[in-house]
A and B are shown apart, each in its own frame.
Chain A
Amino acid sequence: MLELLLALGGLVLLRDSVEWEGRSLLKALIKKSALCGEQVHILGCEVSEEEFREGFDSNINSRLVYHDLFRDPLNWSKTGEALPGGPLEALRALCRRTDPGPVTVALDSLSWLLLHLPCTTLCQILHALSHQDSCHGDSSPGEQVHVLGLLHEELHGPGPLGALSSLAQTEVTLSGVMGQASAHILYRRPQQRPTHQTQWFSILPDFSLELQGGPPLESQPNPDPHTPSTDPTTHLTFNLHLSKKEREAKDSLTLPFQFSSEKQQALLRPGLSQATSHIFYEPDAYDDLDQEDPDDDLDV
């Protein structure tokens, strides 16, 4: 799954929530990129460098360049330790980076940047960042820039979310059921229709990915040991079963309003099999039986 996510290049958007966090998946992708030989630049705004590097072995850590925006992002301490220019300058510096070779840029997190920078500025920088190979005329077309962005869905309205979503080549939305995480992945390949995929997974302590088959089965409610299962149809005072003769009689019964071929024939040829019907009428003493047609005097 990780290879597929990194295959397209461009911006990979990881959308997580409070209940299903996405930093582990981000670290798994970073580990994958580092193992493929790429250099990884991380703009860390939400966790400290020590906490981010935790869990990676030294081989991978040597390939990670952590730009620390966690300790003093707004330059409150005024000790000069903060990155100059704040978050905006740090992002622009990443765009201007000129070292050759495939590179992965991880933004942890895009939500922090979106809360502190105008949405339009951030989108422009992200676009410039993910299309860097077109800026450098001499870079080979095979080199892709991967930009991994972690976005906390609940913090933003539909406008910024939609804007970032439209910039992304791959979008992963994290959710899950009962402790088992799932990723709903949307691939936007150029000149093709977007494709969806849902994958259940779990992240191991060393940040490698383990695919799961599906959601965990609902835990079977334990059968109550105190009530043995009884058959309620025993010891009844009435008969629930049919004997063979009764069953045959039941099956051969035609229902009164069922339209069968015999009934159809009977209706089409009236009188052949039916007896004609008679009406017996006894007039009362006060009945006026007039044989004339009452409408005769009409001029119609």
Chain B
Amino acid sequence: MFPELNNLLNTTPDQAEQGKLTLLCDAKTDGSFLVHHFLSFYLKANCKVCFVALIQSFSHYNIVGQKLGVSLTTARERGQLVFLEGLKSAVDVFFRPQEDPHPLQFLREANSGNLQPLYEFVQEALKPMDSGEAAWRCPVLLVDDLSVLLSLGVGAVAVLDFVHYCRATVCRERKGNVVALVHDSGDAEDEENDILLNGLGHQSHLILRAEGLATGFCKDVHGQLRILWRRPSQPTAQRDRSLTYQYKIQDKNVSFFAKGMSPAVL
């Protein structure tokens, strides 16, 4: 996790909020550093994490996680992390009998089905522990990412329904958190992606948006992060607080600074 991002979000692993949906989105840049941040954040916060990783392999997340101070292998062995490796298990779908339920069952279906098997996998992974086992703090679902589901033929409404059910189970019923990454297609007119992004935006409590700089690539400033807090529990005067920071990604850390205040230009 990145300590500076924790400061910006005003949170620490010990005081993580519960029952929230956080939406990560990126436009014209790669926002996966946010996924690594939240993965290591919730592992350090002693939460049970179900990670639906559709983009990269387990070893990739493990290597990055080790730089941030968590070991995914250890977490998986002691039951804190349930890891669905999409790249590997997508192939398994075709080598099993069709009746066996598989989380990525939608890959076999000719028309865009629903994501109920994936939801049931998540529900099973994050179900409350029996009293004999170690008590984790709260369940967390992390998805990297949801846009690839659209590319694999699932409709935007089906993905929204999946997130809806995850919210109902993980956030509401089990007082956990859901974090999901969606790519913003930007100028490319992708209606399904826009419906997904805006639909999730309406459901989320916190939106973190990583954008590339409007002026193009820069060596010292890799992009800009916009933070939007929505739906606080009480509608107060500050209900739509929004902050913007610029960032630079380093080997083991991401440094954040106010716009125009990069150390390289001061």
Contacts and interface: CB of A to CB of B under 8 A. Distances in A.
Contact of B199 (A19, A155, A176): A155
Contact of B240 (A19, A23, A51, A72): A19
A174 to B, nearest CB: 11
Contacts of A73: 161, 164
Contact of A179 (B114, B201, B237): B237
A38 interface: no
A165 interface: no
B249 interface: no
Q: Which secondary structure dominates chain A's binding surface?
A: loop
Q: Which secondary structure dominates chain B's binding surface?
A: helix
Nearest to A176: B240
A63 B230 CA distance: 28
A202 B161 contact: no
A115 B194 contact: no
A48 B198 contact: no
A18 B202 contact: yes
A51 B157 CA distance: 23
Interface in A11-31: 18-21, 23-24
A115 B160 contact: yes
B233 interface: yes
Given A72-B168, A205-B236, A152 B198 contact: yes
A179 B160 CA distance: 28
Task: State which size class the interface on A falls in.
Answer: 20 to 34
A115 B228 CA distance: 25
Interface in A68-87: 70-74, 76
B235 interface: yes
Interface string B197-209: 0110111000100
Given A18-B202, A19-B242, A207-B235, 12 more contacts: A19-B240, A23-B231, A51-B172, A71-B172, A74-B114, A74-B165, A76-B116, A76-B119, A111-B199, A154-B194, A203-B235, A205-B235
Interface of A: 18-21, 23-24, 46, 48, 50-51, 54-55, 70-74, 76, 111, 115-116, 152, 154-155, 157, 176, 179, 202-205, 207
30 contacts: A18-B198, A18-B201, A18-B202, A18-B228, A18-B230, A20-B240, A21-B230, A24-B235, A46-B202, A46-B203, A48-B172, A50-B172, A51-B172, A54-B233, A71-B168, A71-B172, A72-B165, A73-B161, A73-B164, A76-B165, A115-B199, A116-B157, A154-B194, A155-B199, A157-B191, A179-B237, A179-B241, A203-B235, A205-B236, A207-B235
